[in-house]
Amino acid sequence: MGWSTRQLAELAGTTLRTVRHYHEIGLMAEPERRANGYKDYGVPHLVRVLRIKRLTALGLSLTRIAELGDADEHPEEALRKLDGELAASIERQQQLRTELDLILRHSAPTELPAELGGAVAAANVSAADRALTVVMSQVLGKSALDTYAATLRNYEVDPALAEFDALPAEADKATRQDLAERMLQAPAVRKMLAEFPSFEDLSADAPHGADFARRAIVLAVVDLYNPAQLDVLVRMNC
């Protein structure tokens, strides 16, 4: 006399429902029944349940185990594939932990890639500049964004830049002209203009092309800065 379904489940460390489910989906053959009609499980059934439990614990789905058929005693190919998937998953999780570390250490904005977000946080740029950086992160390529991040890491606060950030839309022409001239003389701006590549170089590896990147950035600038600020930027480029 063997074990009942409940006894088999207890021996295998599982549940009645699980054993019955294995029967329903064809993972385990129904055992013979005793004279009283109860199922009569033997050692092979226990081995089968334990093998299924082990394979699912390793990461194989019940569907995949069913596909293996009699080959599931040592499904080398399936396990090697699973090992590769786990390795890729671990590598991705390690990358995520690195990104999380950067975000947490620098209180970086989560809408930006970790390295760029850290540079933005360290530079303490204005809300408009930060939003513009978000747009740039979507339309420029990696090399351009790396260059921009390096520029931000060397960012130096200047009174003229602070004035630009606070410039009201109704600022008069003389104020705008004076600010444009002082910004061009600001060490931080001069350094950025000297080190920052031209737009053609910056957009060389843009994923959607230079024209797409240019249009997106121009639209963002117009949307983010008020008319007086836009006029100052134009005067700086004259």
Tens digits of residue pLDDT in 128-173 = 999 999 999 999 998 888 888 888 887 777 889 889 999 999 999 9
The per-residue pLDDT for range 52-64, each reduced to its tens digit, is: 999 999 999 999 9
CA 234 from chain centre, in angstroms, equals: 36
Q: Is the pLDDT of residue 19 over 90?
A: yes
pLDDT at 234: 93
181: left (phi over 0), alpha (psi -120 to 50) or beta: alpha
Please give the share of the chain, as a percent, with pLDDT higher than 70.
95
HSE-CB for 116 with a 13 A CA cutoff: 23
Q: Is the pLDDT of residue 72 over 80?
A: no
DSSP 112: S
On whether the pTM is more than 0.95, the answer is no
CA–CA separation, 95 and 146 (whole Å): 18
CB distance 139 to 205 below 8 Å: no
Q: Is the pLDDT of residue 204 over 80?
A: no
